[in-house]
Structure 1
Amino acid sequence: MAALFSSKKPRFYYITRINLVFFFIIFVSFSSTLSSSSSIHDLLVSRGLPAGLLPKEVKSYTLSENGTLEVFLDEPCLTKYENRVIFDSVVRANLTYGSLIGVVGLTQEELFLWLPVKDIIVDDPKSGLILFDIGVAHKQLSLSLFEEPPTCKPQGLLKNDVRKEKGFEAMR
């Protein structure tokens, strides 16, 4: 009876506790490796899209189980593929293999107008084309334009630089 109330802990108590600590250390190191090695650009490529669809300046992203992708930048920024595009500080879309559907937070310049990009689709990677749905039209561009993530400059800064370089022509 005295053995039941002994303050001495059984041997399996220490083994179990050591196993839990070891498992926790392994789990934490694996999780940090996974998050640091997986970028938004890697995610895009794994889903059949080019890495250069989103700029280098992406700070973080979330992907929910239902496919909703949210991409976060420090501030809105401007870059150029074939035409100029503006990324809001948050870009959202439904990510499926080969497409971003219902895009919010991405605007493209077309013939002096800024039009929201609705969908981005790569139907057949062998074709070398990517389709941008800008609401009033569908525009096909070369996938080669999106191989590398572009550098995106703060929206106001780039517009001011363009005006200084090109003078009156840039003030459209």
Structure 2
Amino acid sequence: MAAFFYYTIYLILLCLPQSLSLSSTIHDLLRSKGLPAGLVPREVKSYSLSESGLLEVFLDGPCLTKFENRVLYESVVKANLSYGSLIGVQGLTQEELFVWLPVKDIIVDDPKSGLILFDIGLAHKQLSLSLFEDPPTCNPQSTELPRHHVRKEKGFEALR
């Protein structure tokens, strides 16, 4: 009887960390990794984090929000998550001077500086961390698509 009791306790303790991790949100995960919670919108449906650090964030569909400029989240946003950084970001674009550019990396080198770095390929853009304190509301993408998405989906026909 005592062996059964200890075996039951052992199984409960094994399952406990998994059940706790299921209740944490993507926003909690980002904070625990030294990143602001507002890097992803409130409307996150689910997320997964592999042992290798690949983070996948799932939304109901593409959506737009605004920090300093407009930002487009695809249905799935992927990146390699490590402390203070999201490297190799896919599924996130930012509008700069009427051009939509993919965000490649997001880095917080020194939280005390109050700055976050966005690598948008052509340049590195530093923004205030305060812009990303709270998860933004993300509006479903309208029927007007950013130009590069139209071309990507329809090929050369979009140029006509």
Bin of the TM-score, shorter chain as denominator length = 0.7 to 0.9
Q: How many residues align?
A: 145
Q: Which residue of the other structure, out of 74, 89, 92, is the alignment partner of 1:88?
A: 74
Deviation at 1:27, TM superposition (A): 4.4
Deviations 1:20-72 (A, max 9, x none): 34444554465323311x11111111111111011111111111111111111
The separation in 2 between residues aligned to 1:123 and 1:30, in whole angstroms, is 30
1:5 is matched with none
Which structure has the larger Rg over C-alpha atoms? Answer: 1
Match status 1:151 vs 2:137: yes
Q: Which residue of the other structure, out of 5, 8, 20, is the alignment partner of 1:33?
A: 20
2:85 is matched with 99
Structure 1 residues 125, 30: closer, same or farther in 2, change over 3 A?
closer
The separation in 2 between residues aligned to 1:39 and 1:87, in whole angstroms, is 18
Deviation at 1:16, TM superposition (A): 3.2
2:148 is matched with none
The separation in 1 between residues aligned to 2:131 and 2:28, in whole angstroms, is 17
Deviation at 1:17, TM superposition (A): 3.6
Q: Which residue of the other structure, out of 76, 79, 82, is the alignment partner of 2:65?
A: 79
> RMSD value over aligned CA atoms?
1.9
Structure 1 stretches of 4+ moved >4 Å: 25-30
1:52 is matched with 38
Identify which range, 24-33 or 98-107, moves more after superposition. 24-33
Deviation at 1:134, TM superposition (A): 0.5
2:28 is matched with 42
SS at match of 1:156: coil
Identity across aligned pairs (percent)? 70
| Larger strand fraction of residues | 2
SS at match of 2:30: helix
Q: Structure 1 unaligned segments of length 5 or more: list them.
A: 1-13, 160-172
Match status 1:122 vs 2:78: no
1:6 is matched with none
Match status 1:113 vs 2:113: no
The separation in 1 between residues aligned to 2:21 and 2:35, in whole angstroms, is 21
TM-score by length of 2: 0.82
TM-score by length of 1: 0.77
SS at match of 1:34: helix
